[in-house]
Amino acid sequence: MNRSMKLASLLATVSFGVLTASQAMGAESLQDVMKRRGLNEKDVLAAAKTYTPTGKRDEFLVFSSGGQSGQVIVYGIPSMRILKYIGVFTPEPWQGYGYDDESKKILDEGSNIDGRQVKFGDTHHPALSETNGDYDGQYLFINDKNFPRLAVIDLKDFETKQIVKNPIMMSEHGGAFVSPNTDYIIEASQYAAPLGGGFVPLEQFNEKYRGAVTYWKFNREKGRIEPENSFSLELPPYSQDLSDFGKGPSDGWSFTNSFCSERYVGGIESGRPPFEAGCSAKDTDFLHVVNWKKGEELFKAGKTKQINGHAVIEMATAIKEGMLFLIPEPKSPHGVDVTPDGKLLTVSGKLDSHVTVYSFEKIQAAIKAGKFSGKDEYGVPIIDMKDVIHKQVELGLGPLHTQYDAKPCVAYTSLYVDSMLAKWDFCEGKVIDKISIHYNIGHLMAMEGDTAHPAGKYVVALNKLAIDRFNPVGPLHPQNHQLIDASNDKMQLLYDMPLPLGEPHYAVAIAADKLKPHVRYPHGTDSRTEEKHPASVRAGKERIERTPGKVEVFGSVIRSHITPEIMEVTEGDEVTVHLTNLERAEDETHGFAISKHNVNLSLEPGKTASASFKANKAGVYPYYCTEFCSALHLEMQGYLIVQPAGYKATDVKAKEGVTYGKADYDARVKTNVETQKVIDSVVGYITSVNYKDFAPVVALVEDATDQLNFAAGAKAKSEDYAAKGDFHNAFLWAEQWFQYQVKTADIGLRAKTFLEQGGAKKVK
């Protein structure tokens, strides 16, 4: 813009009265903005702590449960910017999850519950894989409370790779939690039921209903759970709740708390008090203390009972072998969290104002001495609470969950009823600070706060209700994640983030530099098996194979066309379309959707995905790329032609809208030759500097070289046609030659900018 144009546009704005005089001058001061938006100094400080300028990245990544959406939400800290929704127990159309054949296999099988395709998941607790008790950035696990399932997400590409269904539970809650080296992932039942399913009358609750914990064996090399190497432990019909694995000195043990050890069976409809009264009557419930290493031995020795083909250690065996103990815990407990050093466990009672800190050493001493206060009705030894308490600390009303700080002895506990978050010292047993959060905090999340080496700095309050925090969007409100600066003893509230996807129970935060996800897949990858896709193709090898009643398309996508562009099938054919994205450029994803066929693929660079469908209705169905991938994205199109049975093709040639001649061809070639000069100058610059020291540029150069080779191919075809005097086709191929040049130039310029901004040095 020159000065007079600038002036004119300014005048135009001012005359509409939108801006004040000082803004029209173009420079609002910080004071002006504070005044205009009603911000005080504290607000501005909070903003400065979270605001993340363009191009800057977050220090931590959060994986939050997506609650009833059945998905996982990924966001950054401190910016609180949402980066991804990972489809887990429900379809996620953008990623093609639940639409392409490869992911359908995982989701459909994992959602087939007793012959019914279930369409939601109640995701609760995400868990990151650990090595020696610390996050390693490799895998994420998440459980589903409603259908007893557990999913494995690979953090190489943030995709769901496996869903395992719990073979014996009817509901669960206390998962997913991983052992310090991710050998096992725990899943604990919630509401007691007959193990393995089936009908048993409620009158037999005490005798026949049971709880359980499942120890899912994880094979890290394969990145998959091995159901055949997993086992469960039968537990009394108390409502088991959350769990945690021991670490360090407590490695080999796991802990699961419970509520409703009253074993109340309800019956409000027949005039009895409701569950809420019957399940909270006693002053204490039971913390289950399990020697899972012993359990593993028993499982390997075959001392188990098979239920639905799954090995279960019976309670009687566990008691006899000394692998199961109970400790009373006050009152309606929720959450058991092992300290980073593995020496202590914190348990909170929802109806108690204390947190109780148990000493693992004292627990072991009591077990060794055989010092028990008695047995429960099922014969499980009960350890006396006062023998094993390290400290009881009064924190406030409704304590729920605890996470740990980088500073030794410092913990954070959510106070649901008080709507506060407490920072406290569990060694000394004293409160350091309390901060009001907006409302009804459930879980909380400190950075790597459940590992052996928490990172401190921030805490997020996962509030159950948002109430009046955000602009109203109807009776159903979003949930509210509140970011708190916890780097000092005194905590400071920084930011409210609405999460509108379901009730996010729990979240885990990992240092961003521990994650090393792929930028692209190796050519032709089936992302769900992580192997070479048998139907992947290289450029130029695209084909259509036909057998009676079946059509299989082996196609490709690349800026800006789909090969093939015409797919002719016959009504009634079973059709499978496999598409490989031939791109290597970062973020060059193409989509693929066919009109009216519920086909939607996401094809990230290198990926091969497939869509199978029956061509059940004769007609003409446009297909197209669903990602705005390039200037000619809208032209990335084709037709699925479904011919009626018995249709005979005519030999009349299709008449196109425009015919081109020699003058068109010559003009096109002239432009192409000039374009090539621009490309050459960009290439000249790139090769004159140390571009090989910049990995992303090397990838871009590979990509540009590809496109340039395609350009050379198109140029050759165009010259062939011109030699034959067919200037119509010669022009069209020259046009395609130009399209490839444009893509080359686009990539080349991206590389050049990267080099210039990255401080590349001359080498020749």
Residues that bind ligand CUA (CB under 6 A): 590, 625, 627-629, 633, 636
Residue 743: CB minimum distance to ligand CUA, A: 12
User: Considering only residues 108-127, where is the footprint of ligand CUK by CB under 6 A?
Assistant: 124-125
CA pair distance 214, 628, nearest whole angstrom: 45
| Residue with smaller CB distance to ligand CUK, 243 or 525 | 243
Residue 558: CB minimum distance to ligand CUA, A: 8
User: Considering only residues 487-516, where is the footprint of ligand CUK by CB under 6 A?
Assistant: 505-506
Residue 338 contact, options ligand CUA, ligand CUK, none, Cβ 5-8 Å cut-off depending on partner type: none
The beta strand positions in 548-689, using DSSP E, are: 550-558, 561-563, 566-570, 574-581, 590-594, 599-603, 608-614, 619-624, 637-643
Continuous H helices in 270-309:
275-278, 292-300
Burial class (CB in 10 A: 0-12, 13-18, 19+), 438: middle
Residue 625 contact, options ligand CUK, ligand CUA, none, Cβ 5-8 Å cut-off depending on partner type: ligand CUA
CA pair distance 418, 472, nearest whole angstrom: 25
| Residue with smaller CB distance to ligand CUK, 91 or 335 | 335
Angle (CA) 123-126-128 rounded to 5° is 155
Residue 332: CB minimum distance to ligand CUA, A: 54
Residue 442 contact, options ligand CUA, ligand CUK, none, Cβ 5-8 Å cut-off depending on partner type: ligand CUK
Q: How many C-beta atoms lie closer than 10 Å to residue 53's C-beta?
A: 6
* Residue 104 is a binding residue for ligand CUK (CB under 6 A): no
* Identity of the amino acid at 137: G
Burial class (CB in 10 A: 0-12, 13-18, 19+), 242: buried
Token digits for 86? 């990972």
CA pair distance 684, 707, nearest whole angstrom: 17
Residues 355 and 419: beta-carbon distance below 8 Å: no
Residue 443 contact, options ligand CUK, ligand CUA, none, Cβ 5-8 Å cut-off depending on partner type: ligand CUK
| Residue with smaller CB distance to ligand CUA, 451 or 560 | 560
Element (H, E) at 297: helix 292-300
Residue 512 phi/psi, 5° resolution?
-60, -30
Selected binder of ligand CUK within 334, 390, 528, 533 (CB under 6 A): 334
Residue 174: CB minimum distance to ligand CUK, A: 8
Residue 590: CB minimum distance to ligand CUA, A: 4
| Residue with smaller CB distance to ligand CUA, 202 or 631 | 631
Residue 636: CB minimum distance to ligand CUA, A: 4
Residues 737 and 714: beta-carbon distance below 8 Å: yes
Residue 493: CB minimum distance to ligand CUK, A: 20
Selected binder of ligand CUK within 331, 350, 391, 443 (CB under 6 A): 443
Residue 125 contact, options ligand CUK, ligand CUA, none, Cβ 5-8 Å cut-off depending on partner type: ligand CUK
Element (H, E) at 386: helix 385-388
SS3 content of the chain, % helix, strand, coil (to 5): 25, 35, 40
**How many chain residues interact with ligand CUK (CB under 6 A)?**
11
Residue 457 contact, options ligand CUK, ligand CUA, none, Cβ 5-8 Å cut-off depending on partner type: none
CA pair distance 166, 440, nearest whole angstrom: 31
* Identity of the amino acid at 247: K
Residue 633 contact, options ligand CUK, ligand CUA, none, Cβ 5-8 Å cut-off depending on partner type: ligand CUA
In the DSSP assignment, the letter for residue 271 is T
| Residue with smaller CB distance to ligand CUA, 406 or 632 | 632
Q: Which residues are near ligand CUK by CB under 6 A?
A: 124-125, 173, 242, 334, 400-401, 442-443, 505-506
